[in-house]
Amino acid sequence: MTKGKTKNSVLKGLTPEKEIKRWSKSFSIGDAREEINVEKIDNGFLVSYYKEWYDEKKGYRSFRKKVFSNKNPLGDEYQVSESKSALKDIIDNLD
């Protein structure tokens, strides 16, 4: 730091970053849990899908997928129902 400047005075000169816009939805049915997270980025939306479940033969399993979308799958124009396959359907229908 330069002479005469304190850490706080240097921090006051920084401009705050844009507010990060995020949406999320998750639910559990029995041993299965599904989750979708959406983050607004400069040119669209980053969509993350995660599912974990218990398989009697293989034990605990999980699946993760990240995709780019021009549309927000959790936005107001999408009314997602609380069904077992709703979140997977969102991921499968992304452009």
| Structure confidence by residue, pLDDT tens digits, 6-27 | 555 555 655 556 777 899 988 8
pLDDT band at 94 (very low <50, low <70, confident <90, very high): low
Asked, for residue 74, whether it belongs to a domain, the answer is: yes
Asked, for residue 57, whether it belongs to a domain, the answer is: yes
Number of domains in the chain: 1
CB 38 within 8 A of CB 44: no
With tokens 């999980």, the residue in question is: 62
Asked, for residue 6, whether it belongs to a domain, the answer is: no
Given a cut of 70, whether residue 1 has pLDDT beyond it is no
Spell 6-35 as b/e; 16+ CB within 10 A means b.
eeeeeeeeeeeeeeeeeeebeeeeeeeebb
Asked, for residue 9, whether it belongs to a domain, the answer is: no
Range of the domain at 48: 19-92
Asked, for residue 8, whether it belongs to a domain, the answer is: no
Put simply, whether the predicted model's pTM sits higher than 0.75 gets the answer no
Asked, for residue 12, whether it belongs to a domain, the answer is: no
Asked, for residue 4, whether it belongs to a domain, the answer is: no
